[in-house]
Structure 1
Amino acid sequence: MSYPTPLTLEGRQAVVAGGTKGTGAAVVTRLKAAGAVVTAIARTPGPGTDADTFIAADLTDPDAGKAIAESVTAGGVPEVLVHVTGGSTAPSGGFAVLGDAE
């Protein structure tokens, strides 16, 4: 049986939006294991955030973009970007629970 070559991202800059909880935190952990230097962006740090750098920002705020870009590029140009944010204000249940106003 053959296995794929392990992913190596040694020294590459990675950014994970929504990288402090759930899937985002798992992505941060995997990128770190592959050798990447990881910046996590989220509203709050999660328990045991594994990222090298954490940026507290609300990605639903249009004014946050410039501050995030400046912080992220201060360490070099990111080569990996992963977007794992939720942010939906829609009620659970999808389209079936939305009315005409939504």
Structure 2
Amino acid sequence: MAGWAHDAAQPDAPVCLDIVVDGTIVAVTVAAEYRADIAAAGVGDGRHGFDLGVQAALAPGVPHVVEVRRSADETVICAMATDAAGVWRPLLAA
């Protein structure tokens, strides 16, 4: 799982994130890696990326929801769902 997140109230601060699968936190990471594309877009200092290998097995044949939430206030940054057939769709994308 990879992406980026930042807090507009603290634009240069790293952001702690919870990775949530079906309502359960399965991993925690910090969005603090430098990404040139984020810096070029003028988002803070560009150190808002994250790249995390998540070892959460998803049971086949049942729907699942995966969310990335800001730990401080549980704001959902991104969310995806898979149906029983394994087809993914975005629920919320920043």
Smaller-chain TM-score range? under 0.3
Higher-strand-fraction structure: 2
TM-score scaled by structure 1? 0.25
TM-score scaled by structure 2? 0.26
Higher-helix-fraction structure: 1
